[in-house]
Chains A and B, each alone.
Chain A
């Protein structure tokens, strides 16, 4: 797989065709799982309802632990689905992410009780998206690489193709459970008019975990994760009369001035390692505890200048979760306290005299920091009525902070939000069909915000960017979701389903509203 990453970064255009063939292979393998005998007698429709119940996912929702996957769901289930989606913002919430996207995806996923104590799961996704009107960002993987993007003032639409595969295995042996999982994502993004970025990214994640039954039905699970990430990007101009400036952004409207211009070829390389500890009950009743730490570092290099490492980023991420869940025959309830911190430390490397095209590193400066924290309390109550219908209510109250700082010139943005939210769900089984409905609303109320932007004037070319980042961070925001799903059982083992989702969000400070719709047709097996 590592070789595969290298090949992708060599710009081998045929590589994505190989990936496509792999995708087909995974689909065939997943289809092969259809022949596996399920370990239970529930119809596929009933299994979907069980798996979709909030009480099934509430305590494990934020658990990303291999061995814990052993207890993820009580039933085998395979789904194949086609998605179509469309999202349009009245104007971009974040310039660097554009003001809309539309496209389609194919999604295959399976979780199988291979034997009584063996679980096997896999997932394959291909999506093809057109991202609209991206500004100030010609780099892919926004969330991962923020704020160290290459950018220009022109931007435009970006065509994006993603190939994603995941496969995992978990087994219970006496008092132990263990598991392993591999995940691979290949990304290609490009534009066919000037400026023409062409980014290829490869992202490989490996996880393994082991757990032991240390007390009654409680398991302690330890898992380790490793990741390797690469992205190469270049911006071409076919217009013979010239280029525009390629900026290398360093956060809060700052750029690495020395190398801004025509250094358009860049490479990002990152590695990460993580450890996760869970304590969880096998039957999801009782306390569930999660502690997860991950450290990711990456560097951005200029390919045209012998791969000098322009900037480096270190990202610490800690997630903690404590849940308690209980229930009776027809009702379940629980509470969960979740918290997390993400700390980004960005370093700019400084280079000496370029004589002979040798840029020797002479010093480095820790210029950029970001601290994101969140703390939330949520609860749920779920009950099953006599008429085969299941209801749930999930209130949530969170507190989130986001703070970014740049050292010189001293710049800082921060915001604190109080976020109340509520979700309501209902599903019902009938003789020949079943359906579900879910509605939620969330309001992010900005309690406090601060801005300090030294040396920033409206004449600066990056002024519009930093103003946009500030307003998006500090705005109040309302988000509402409405989902529905209808199942049409064909046989006891096969269900065709139709799913729709609609989202509306509004940012008051930016006066931006947006709608997103997603429509899915699939089959559950």
Chain B
């Protein structure tokens, strides 16, 4: 038994020693230097009230960091290694009409690789210019479900709102759908995003310039089929009183569009489909409201965008090409990026148009998305009782996601 006792002690010691293996390493962290590129014409300005938000793409966790003014507009923070999206908000002092005023600036950069002991990132800032005219107030893109649980299309709509203090004319307003998906990022070449938005569906409100006035605080409803959908689907709406509808001459009789002659059709400038256009009902595309500065013919001739990219699959890398149209950023009045959290990879507009995104559904094909829309939040109400909608060019903040769709929420 003496041997047993000795060997038992050795056994115990060995077991205790093995716990050494369980020592945990600290996570690897990097010191990140963020450099800010000032807006054009304000290269000497100093930032103040600086808030830098970092989103860890792997964990989905967002943290907010405040900084004091730095002479070189460089800011340091420590982050765990990973992939990040950076958003910076600050103010600069500018002279307007001889008076120094604080103006908001913003910047957004995505997919920043944070690895190693030190690394750097840069953010291009732009002046925040809130729209004083039309804005997209609501997009209903998901469609509805029938009581039998089947998908129902044709009742999608856009609500366009006059967010200014003056009468605006809807004549010539363009609704466009992005060609790129917010859930599939490719290195498209040439990269035109800082100058234009790639679009593949473009429809325009007709009129001579003063045919469709919209009062301050009022809006217009543009829908797919301006009919009473409730007769076919009790979960849908009566859209027969819509202001406009888009109509497509389909080449396939199995997918024919419905035209309500009592409701004005949009002028179809271009659409990628030979049948009928339906906004992406899983919310993978983005939408813009624009006003053309060229004729339809000039646009179709001079604003073609040919691009190429590499498609990488398990079978290999394949060079791909594509073509669509491009709308210059300065023509765009408002833009809204849509995506879903589980699939989001990038925004498909320049951050100066929209540096965020909104959604209906948390995942691809989310069965809870039907009957829901994205609706712009109310900012304030004027003394005259006119509702002003929030418009900071950041859809993540400006829009309430997953709202119960109501085409007549706004007047």
Residues on A lying within 8 angstroms of B by beta carbon are 237, 239-245, 256-258, 260-262, 287, 289, 306-307, 316, 318, 320, 322, 324, 335, 337, 339-341, 343, 348, 350-358, 362-363, 365-367, 369, 371, 373, 375, 403, 405, 407-408
Beta-carbon contacts under 8 Å, B113-141 to A: 113, 115
- The minimal Cβ–Cβ distance linking B339 to chain A, given in whole angstroms, is 11
Are A287 and B3 in contact, CB atoms less than 8 angstroms apart?
yes
Residues A339 and B12 in contact, CB atoms below 8 Å apart: yes
> B341 near A343 (CB under 8 angstroms)?
no
Q: How far is the CA of A355 from the CA of B113 in the complex (A)?
A: 13
State the CA gap A318–B22 with chains docked (Å).
13
Pair B186/A355 contact, Cβ less than 8 Å: yes
Assess the B60–A369 pair: CB atoms within 8 A: no
Give the docked Cα–Cα distance between A355 and B348 (Å).
Answer: 13
Residue of A nearest to B343 (CB): A261
Cβ contacts under 8 Å, B111 to chain A: 352-353, 355
Classify the interface of chain A: helix, strand, loop or mixed. strand
Inter-chain contact B22/A365, CB cutoff 8 Å: no
A363 contacts across to B, CB distance below 8 A:
28, 81-82, 115
B83 at the interface (CB under 8 A from A): yes
CB-CB nearest in chain B for A314: B21
Given contacts A243-B363, A257-B59, A365-B27, contact A357 B341 (CB under 8 A): no
A348 in contact with B58 (CB, 8 Å): yes
A-B contact pairs, 6 of them (CB 8 A): A262-B364, A287-B7, A337-B11, A356-B187, A357-B186, A408-B27
B367 touching A241, Cβ below 8 Å? yes
| A241 close to B15 (CB less than 8 A) | no
Chain B residue nearest to A260 in the complex (CB): B342
B 314-358 contacts with A by CB, 8 A: 314, 340-343, 345
Q: Which residues of A contact B59 (CB under 8 A)?
A: 257-258
B99 proximal to A (CB < 8 A): no
Which residues of chain B have a CB within 8 Å of any CB of chain A?
1, 3-4, 7-8, 11-12, 14-15, 18-19, 21-22, 24-28, 57-61, 80-83, 111, 113, 115, 145, 149-151, 184-187, 309-314, 340-343, 345, 361-370
Taking the closest CB of chain A, its distance from the CB of B122, in whole angstroms, is 15
* Cross-chain contact B18 with A341 (CB below 8 angstroms): yes
Whether A350 pairs with B58 at a CB distance below 8 angstroms is yes
Residues of B near A241 (CB, < 8 A) are 145, 149-151, 365, 367, 370
Interchain CA distance A356-B11 in the complex, whole Å: 55
- B185 and chain A: residue at smallest CB distance: A355
Return chain A residues, CB-CB under 8 Å to B19.
341, 371, 373
With A322-B8, A339-B15 known as contacts, the answer to whether A258 contacts B60 (CB < 8 A) is yes
Partner of B83, one of A243, A318, A350: A350
Closest residue of chain B to A351 (Cβ to Cβ) is: B83
Q: Which 4 interchain pairs have the tightest Cβ spacing?
A: A261-B342, A242-B367, A257-B60, A353-B111
* B113–A353 CB distance below 8 A: yes
Q: Are B25 and A366 in contact (CB under 8 A)?
A: yes
| A366 partner residues in chain B, CB cutoff 8 A | 24-25, 27
Q: Do residues A352 and B15 form an inter-chain contact, with CB atoms below 8 A? A: no
Q: Bound state CA distance, A239 and B82, in angstroms? A: 36
Q: Are B340 and A261 closer than 8 Å at their CB atoms?
A: yes
Cβ-defined partner of B28 (8 Å) among A243, A306, A365: A365
Check A242 against B342 for contact (C-beta < 8 Å).
Answer: no
Interchain CA distance A185-B12 in the complex, whole Å: 35
| A352 touching B25 in the complex, CB below 8 Å, given contacts A261-B363, A324-B4 | no
Q: Given the complex, which residues of B lie within 8 Å of A357, measured CB to CB?
A: 184, 186, 311-313
Task: Given A243-B365, A373-B19, A407-B24, verify A362-B83 contact (CB < 8 Å).
Answer: yes
Given A243-B367, A403-B22, list of 13 further CB < 8 A pairs? A240-B150, A243-B365, A257-B58, A262-B364, A287-B3, A287-B7, A306-B313, A306-B314, A353-B113, A355-B186, A362-B113, A365-B28, A365-B80
CB distance from B312 to the nearest CB of A (A): 5
Question: In the docked arrangement, what's the CA distance between A118 and B57, Å?
Answer: 61
Which of A239, A348, A354, A407 has a CB less than 8 Å from the CB of B345?
A354
Q: Contacts A241-B367, A242-B365, A356-B311 hold; do A375 and B15 have CB atoms under 8 A apart?
A: yes
Contacts of A356 in B (CB 8 A): 185-187, 309-312
Contacts of A354 in B (CB 8 A): 185, 345
B282 nearest in chain A by CB position: A242
**In the complex the two chains form, what is the Cα distance from A341 to B312 in whole Å?**
44
Cα A341 to Cα B18 with chains together (Å): 7
The residue in A244, A257, A356, A403 that gathers the most chain B C-beta atoms within 10 A of its C-beta is A356
**Residues on A with beta carbons closer than 8 Å to the beta carbon of B314:** 306-307
In the complex, A442→B282 CA distance in Å? 55
User: Given that A262-B342, A365-B28 are contacting pairs, would A358 and B312 also be in contact in the complex, using a CB cutoff of 8 Å?
Assistant: yes
Report whether B58 and A318 are in contact in the complex, using a CB–CB cutoff of 8 Å.
no
How long is the Cα–Cα vector from A355 to B21 in the complex, in angstroms?
38
Which residue of B is nearest A335, CB measured? Answer: B4
CA distance A335 to B4 in the complex (A): 10
Q: By the criterion CB–CB under 8 Å, are A352 and B83 in contact? A: yes
Q: What's the Cα separation between A289 and B11 when bound, in Å?
A: 10
Closest residue of A by beta carbon distance from B60: A257
Asked if residues B367 and A239 are in contact (CB atoms below 8 Å), the reply is yes
Q: How far is the CA of A418 from the CA of B186 in the complex (A)?
A: 58
Whether A407 and B364, one on each chain, are in contact in the complex, defined by CB atoms closer than 8 angstroms, is no
Chain A's closest residue to B82 (CB) is A350
Nearest chain A CB to B340 CB, angstrom units:
7
What's the Cα separation between A415 and B164 when bound, in Å? 64
User: Interface centre among A258, A307, A318, A375, by most B CB within 10 Å?
Assistant: A258
* Contact of B312 with A244 in the complex, beta carbons under 8 Å: no
From the candidates B8, B80, B312, B363, name the one contacting A408 in the complex (CB within 8 A).
B80
Report whether B363 and A245 are in contact in the complex, using a CB–CB cutoff of 8 Å: yes
Question: For the complex, what is the distance from the CA of A239 to the CA of B363, rounded to whole Å?
Answer: 15
User: Is A365 touching B81 in the complex (CB atoms < 8 A)?
Assistant: yes
Q: How far is the CA of A307 from the CA of B312 in the complex (A)?
A: 13
A337 / chain B contacts, CB cutoff of 8 Å = 4, 8, 11
A-side contacts of B57, CB under 8 Å: 258
Shortest CB-to-CB span from A376 to chain B, Å, is 11
With A and B bound together, what is the CA distance between A318 and B18 in angstroms? 8
CB closest residue in chain A, given B20: A343
Neighbouring A residues of B26 by C-beta, 8 Å: 407
Q: How far is the CA of A403 from the CA of B340 in the complex (A)?
A: 36
- CA A362 – CA B60 in complex, angstroms? 17
